[in-house]
Structure 1
Amino acid sequence: MTTVVVAPGVGALLREWRERRRISQLELALRADSSARHISFVETGRSRPSEELLLRLADHLDVPVRERNALLISAGYAPRYAETSLDAPTMSTLRAGMDQLLRAYEPFPALVTDGRYDILAANAGIMALVDGVAPHLLQPPLNGMRITLHPEGLAPRIRNLREWRRHLLDQMERQLALMRSAPLRALYDEVAGYPLPGTGGDEVAAESEHCPFALPMVIEHDGRVLSFISTIATFNTPMDVTVSELAIETFLPADAATAAYLHRRPA
């Protein structure tokens, strides 16, 4: 039998994604209309997958768009998905739509972040919340995780910081379990190492302030205590790396007092 020489790495990458998803070779083969023998040959480098099969496997393994390009390149194919800057003319409709959405959500806070939690756009509600954050944290690129968890950011004002911090770190851990991202890993290590406000860096006691249906972020602002529920939306079936990593996060008032205050607050 003739062994086909393939670009190094594609088999190992596929095996890594399959193991991340905890799917056997047989199960993946059945899903992708292939055979366990062929999947085994691809993973061990004895067979070169076609571009069509590679994309089909990536689809069934729910591989992020950026990593699909890496798989294609490793197999000797050209990347399929562009990575277009949001400033590009072809993104003008997308930018306008996101800006319209953020403005429409006011007076409630909303923002758009990328895959590293850098803030790409934000409305007036967000800008009001970050008032008083240390200037160095508001220098571009603004990062949502740093602004929230840094001792000179929002952290000292978050009443349930231990719970909210754990929620954010869990969110990052779930992402890291599903994708390979050195920048995201570095950010996680950085923010997880921030000392919590309080004597000697010990965790401050969090007040048990909950709404009945979800964990809120309870934060002091302008002499008041506000409570928000966070929701995150992403784009369906993205065909561009940049778009695939965009997330629109909105903060819904978790109680009537927060909603009433935001509606009364001057624009």
Structure 2
Amino acid sequence: MTIAAPGPTSSATVTDKGAGPLLRAWRERRRISQLELALRAESSARHISFVETGRSRPSEKLLLRLAEHLDVPVRERNTLLMAAGYAPRFAETPLDDPALDALRDGMQRLIQGYEPYPALVVDAGYTVVAANRGIAMLLEGVSAELMTPAPNAMRLTLHPLGLAPRIRNLREWRGHLLAQMEREIALYRSGRLRALYEEVSAYPVPGEGGGEEPAEPVPYFALPMRIEHGGRLLSFVSSISTFNTPMDVTVAELAIETFLPADPATAAYLHALAG
């Protein structure tokens, strides 16, 4: 697959009560006291209290510093700024914009260089914006309706017409993915992500195809996805990478997921296919 532009991710709406209520919500979500936040941001608990109650309007610099210490996502930092009456600081450049040519080329080279192992790039809503031939191999036999117009990694994995029937430890892997989405919903407060979660969590769980797990499972260093392909049982552990200190909303919401063979047999099989 080649890189495609992701759709917009829904965000919290700007209120007419200033940035205070939004800031308080983020602080409470992070379970940080006003005093602790003040110490981190080199302010005072009194001033933080005044900001949260609307008695004081924070400077743009202070608001960004508070957002950084609360680990507020880049998209929501713009929301905070606009609620306080400031212009958004972070652009949201379409992924197909020429300004991101170097980024797109770099990601494509990165996932191609990972072959024959699977790797893909997704946006904040799990839309697949790029994938290598290792992913294409795993998706062989997946229903065409899941591949268009924009494939979604969660649907491809958990839908009964997707990979789900071939994943031998589906209940474990499904639980891992749903827990991951729950954490991201709490972080990003995304309506788009919440709708996706409700959809995929409602999919029926098919029988875990291809037989039972062995009586004495092979020990792994991380939870693997155990999936059938071509009559073989392959095992992968996944790793997710994001960009450090992104200055653009689009870039901040991209994630590169790579699948590492969890045993020598899987690695040998993939290299044999590539050869």
- How high is the TM-score relative to the length of structure 1? 0.93
Q: Which runs of 4+ in 1 moved over 4 A?
A: 202-206
Alignment root-mean-square deviation, CA: 1.8
1:47 to 31, 53, 56: 56
Deviation at 1:203, TM superposition (A): 11
**What amino acid is aligned across from residue 253 of structure 1 in structure 2?**
P
- Give the Cα–Cα distance (whole angstroms) in 2 for the partners of residues 235 and 266 of structure 1: 29
| Count of aligned residue pairs for this structure pair | 259
- Give how far 1:177 is off: 1.8
State the Cα deviation string for residues 154-180 of structure 1 (Å, max 9, x = none): 000000000000000111111112221
The match for 1:176 among 168, 185, 188 is 185
- Distance in 1 of aligned mates of 2:199 and 2:209: 17
| 1:80 corresponds to 2:89 | yes
8 Å Cα contact 1:156-1:197 kept in structure 2:
yes
Q: Report if aligned partners of 1:211, 1:254 keep a CA contact under 8 Å in 2.
A: no
Paired with 1:39 and 1:81, the residues of 2 have a C-alpha distance of 24
Q: Helix, strand or coil: the match of 1:112? A: strand
Partner of residue 160, structure 1: 169
- Alignment of 1:238 onto 2:207: no
Aligned residue identity for 2:223: L
Q: For 1:261, which of 256, 269, 273 is the aligned residue?
A: 269
1:113–1:121 CA contact under 8 A, matched in 2: yes
Aligned residues of 1:70 and 1:79 also touching (Cα < 8 A): yes
Match of 2:213 in 1: 207
Alignment partner of 2:231 out of 204, 220, 223:
223
Name the amino acid aligned to 2:132: N
Q: Aligned in 2, Cα 1:185/1:32: closer, same or farther, shift over 3 Å?
A: same
Letter of the 2:268 partner, please give it. A
- 1:33 matches 2:42: yes
Which residue number corresponds to residue 7 of structure 2?
Answer: none
Rounded to whole Å, the distance in 2 between the matches of 1:173 and 1:205 is 30
Verify the 8 A CA contact 1:162 1:203 in the aligned structure 2.
no
Partner of 1:96: 105
For residue 211 of structure 1, report the CA deviation from its aligned partner.
Answer: 3.7
| TM-score in terms of structure 2 length | 0.90
Q: Distance in 1 between matches of 2:54 and 2:158?
A: 44
Q: Distance in 1 between matches of 2:20 and 2:34?
A: 12
Instruction: Check the 8 A contact 1:164/1:217 in 2, yes or no.
Output: yes
Distance in 1 separating the partners of 2:197 and 2:32: 27
Q: Between the two structures, name the one with larger relative contact order (CA 8 Å, sep ≥ 6).
A: 2
CA deviation after TM superposition for structure 1 residue 212, in Å: 2.6
Q: Is the 8 A contact 1:29 1:35 kept in 2?
A: yes
> Which digits, 9 at most, give the CA deviation of each residue in 1:200-229, with x for residues without a partner?
xx9999736454311000000111110001
CA contact (8 A) 1:196 1:204 kept: no
Partners of 1:57 and 1:83 in 2: how far apart?
21
Structure 1 gap segments, 5+ residues each: 1-5
